[in-house]
Structure 1
Amino acid sequence: MKRWLLMLLLVNATAVAESFEYPLQPQPVATDTYVIEGKTEDFSKQNGGFIVNTGFIVTTAGVVVIDTGVSRRFGEQQRAVIEKLTGKKVVRVYITHHHPDHFLGNQTYTDVPIYALPATRDGIKAEGETFNGNMYRMVGDWMRDTRVTPPTQDAKAGKETVGGHELEVIALQGHTAGDLVLFDHTTGVLFSGDLVFNNRAATTPHATLAMWLTTLDSLQALPFKTLVPGHGNVASDTAPIQQTRAYLQWLQTTLEDAAAHGLDMLEVMQTPIPADFQHVALVQHELRRSVSHLYPALEQAHLKPAKPAE
């Protein structure tokens, strides 16, 4: 009986994957504002790369989209869901940063302005094709016919009213060289991108930890009512910011101490996870990745020149 049930579950999972339909369910988080929450998982053929939060704001001028997801299929399905739910057309898109799960749905939106910070546009142009190839290897045919489509407009820091919503673009960095935060002053919703993770370990392939920690202080000072992190559940307080900060501080201290004591990368990867973070999704996995991203530079900084012979 158990074996038969397991086989049935596997068949159903395979059928869902082969349909290439993302389970997109927009959830209202404020007036005129919706979020499509991704899974707190790593990329896989089972989830199709649907691990990211995307959002949209319904204005009197049309719909503003925040991040387009991981693939052409995602972007198409996202747009179809938005237009069916709202009965309105998308009028602009914001891309929070250049990581692939946030922008590879762009080709669905080539008929509207796609805004991003200049550093994000540069990152997509420099690394987009590599990202696209890597995503295909990780999630397979979910990525079929996905083409890298860079943003078309430079987002400028400051406020602008769009269809009755006072939107502020805030230009930051730390997670990457260009992290766009969108703050809707009309509703109090803050779209933080991957500067904030909620009960999901932060990723660091382009991170500058000291800058990121400073940036989190800036975010916490904003008068938001609702926080939409790049990954993890939407929140109504600063707890995800505090958790992200605590994790990054622990990571920074751990790596610096290890380099000062001459530990090799494998030793650092086996560092025990503190109790405060053991419940955080993918924490051991992301520790290993962060060591590979950040530790070589720290090792080099701690190397001491050989004492000259007397």
Structure 2
Amino acid sequence: MKKVPKKLLLLSSSLLVGLSLTAGAEDKKVHQGLLDKYQPEKISGHVYVIHGPMGYPDKENQGFMNNPGFIVTDKEVAVIDPGSSSAIGRAVLAHIRKITDKPITQVFTTHVHGDHWLGNQAFQEENPDVKFYAHPAMIEEAKNGAAEEWIGTMDSMTEKATEGTQAIIPTEALTDGQSFDLGGLTLKAHLIEGKAHTDTDVMFEVPEEKVLFTGDTINNKRIVRMDDGSFAGGIKAADYALTLGVDKIVPGHGHTGSKNVLTYYRDYLNKVYSSVKDLREQDMEAFEMKPKIEEKLTDYKDWQGLDEELGKHISLSVLEAEQEDF
């Protein structure tokens, strides 16, 4: 029998995935915009990232705003942060199937915020035996209400564009330094001690290819909410990441870059937090601090989310600095 070229096999596989995803339209919605407008970028020999848009979840982007990543080896595929809805997860899956027909065996979550992991559902649909990994605190928080809260938040912010998503909560609790053999490549989990962006943060390193997935602990040209985090903890986490032997940084939001991405985001956190502590000593209130702190952030004036988040970041920094005094 004549051997079928691998490219044709992959094409057939992707067509079958497409057919299965469109069957039962209501139950199997796919984020068509992600499929049409965003493509996986190969950032190293085996690592791909789909760089999402920078805005907040809304009806137009249908909740797509993060950077889903995946690692393809000769043996299997591992996925990191597949996005904020089942439809987004199915689009990520379809992109993967255009590249490889290898089994997707493991899905990893960087933190509890649902815009990063509610796409899990698509991968359980394809492979009921896939394993979902996360920080133990993420698993507990998700079980204790965070999962349903994020389902509701995404549904509300997108005007029901994410409706029908089920929260597939990870069941496999990671430990710090835990390594996974992906068939010639290693994936190593770095659990962040205490709070950084949240108290559930994990960074994932691919040592052989010097790649680091940071989740929202680090972002590039995007200022994110810090309601669940710590500025001092975020600075510490960035300093830790700088000690690792990596040279490609995949942030939670924004484009992949060099180690400068770590330094630049750390410096934003540090400028806000250190300025707040200095201005507190002058007995200034939070609202009085903003103009002075803005003067120190001219390098970040074009960053998405600065106008929306800076005032809140100053207020949160004041509270954190007050807690340091006790």
Q: TM-score range by the shorter chain?
A: 0.7 to 0.9
TM-score (norm 1): 0.84
Give the corresponding residue for 2:309.
286
Map residues 146-295 of structure 1 onto 2, 5 A cutoff. Answer: 146-156=165-175, 157-173=177-193, 174-235=196-257, 237-268=258-289, 272-273=294-295, 274-291=297-314, 293-295=316-318
Q: Deviations over 1:220-267 (max 9, x none)?
A: 1111131111111111x2111111111101121233345555555544
- Determine if contact 2:219/2:253 at 8 Å carries over to the other structure: yes
1:167 alignment partner AA:
L
Q: 1:300 to 1:223 in 2, by over 3 A?
A: closer
Partner of 1:113: 131
Instruction: Say if 1:22 and 1:50, in contact at 8 Å, map to a contact too.
Output: no
Please list the CA deviations of residues 124-155 of structure 1 after superposition, one character each: whole Å capped at 9, or x if unmatched: 22312112212111112221101222101112
Report percent identity of matched pairs. Answer: 29
Q: Do 1:199 and 1:240's aligned partners in 2 also have CA atoms closer than 8 Å?
A: no
Secondary structure of the 2:83 match is coil
Q: Is the 8 A contact 2:220 2:253 kept in 1?
A: yes
**Partner SS state of residue 91, structure 2:** helix
Higher strand share: 1
Rounded Cα–Cα distance in structure 1 between residues aligned with 2:253 and 2:134: 19
Q: 2:148 aligns with which of 102, 123, 129?
A: 129
- Structure 2 segments unaligned to the other structure (5+ residues): 1-28
Instruction: State the alpha-carbon separation in 2 of the partners of residues 48 and 143 from structure 1.
Output: 6
Task: Report the CA distance between 1:80 and its aligned residue.
Answer: 1.8
Contact kept? 1:83, 1:89, Cα under 8 Å: no
Q: 1:228 to 1:118 in 2, by over 3 A?
A: same
Secondary structure of the structure 1 residue equivalent to 2:294? coil
Structure 2 SS opposite 1:101: coil
Q: Is the 8 A contact 2:131 2:171 kept in 1?
A: yes
- Alignment length (residue pairs): 285
What's the CA shift for 1:294? 4.8
**Which whole-Å CA distance do the structure 1 matches of 2:180 and 2:120 have between them?**
22
Change (3 A) 1:293 1:105: farther
What letter corresponds to residue 256 of structure 1 in structure 2? K
Check whether the contact 2:31–2:88 (CA below 8 A) recurs between aligned residues: no
Alignment-derived partner of residue 14 in structure 2: none
Aligned pairs (5 A) from 1:20-169: 20-23=31-34, 24-110=38-124, 111=128, 112-126=130-144, 127-156=146-175, 157-169=177-189
Shift of 1:207: 0.9
TM-score when normalising by structure 2:
0.80
State how far apart, in whole Å, the 2-side matches of 1:135 and 1:294 are.
Answer: 27
Q: Which amino acid aligns with 1:45?
A: K
SS at match of 2:64: coil
Q: Kindly state the Cα deviation for residue 178 of structure 1 after the two structures are TM-superposed.
A: 2.0
Separation in 1, partners of 2:323, 2:207: 45
* Residue pair 2:188, 2:204 contacting (<8 A) in 1 also: yes
Rounded to whole Å, the distance in 2 between the matches of 1:213 and 1:20 is 35
Residue 300 (structure 1) shift: 7.6
Q: Is the 8 A contact 1:20 1:142 kept in 2?
A: no
Q: 1:133 to 1:293 in 2, by over 3 A?
A: farther
Q: 1:308 — aligned with what?
A: none
Mean CA deviation greater in 262-271 or 217-226:
262-271
| SS of 1:212 mapped into structure 2 | helix
Unpaired stretches in structure 1, ≥5 consecutive residues = 1-17, 304-310
Distance (whole Å) between structure 1 residues aligned to residue 169 and residue 317 of structure 2: 27
Q: Root-mean-square deviation (CA), in Å?
A: 2.3
Assess if the C-alpha contact under 8 Å between 1:61 and 1:91 holds in 2: no
Aligned-residue offset at 1:203: 2.6
TM superposition outliers: structure 1 runs of 4+ over 2 Å: 156-160, 253-274, 288-303
Please say if residues 259 and 302 of structure 1, whose CA atoms lie closer than 8 Å, have aligned partners that are also in contact.
no
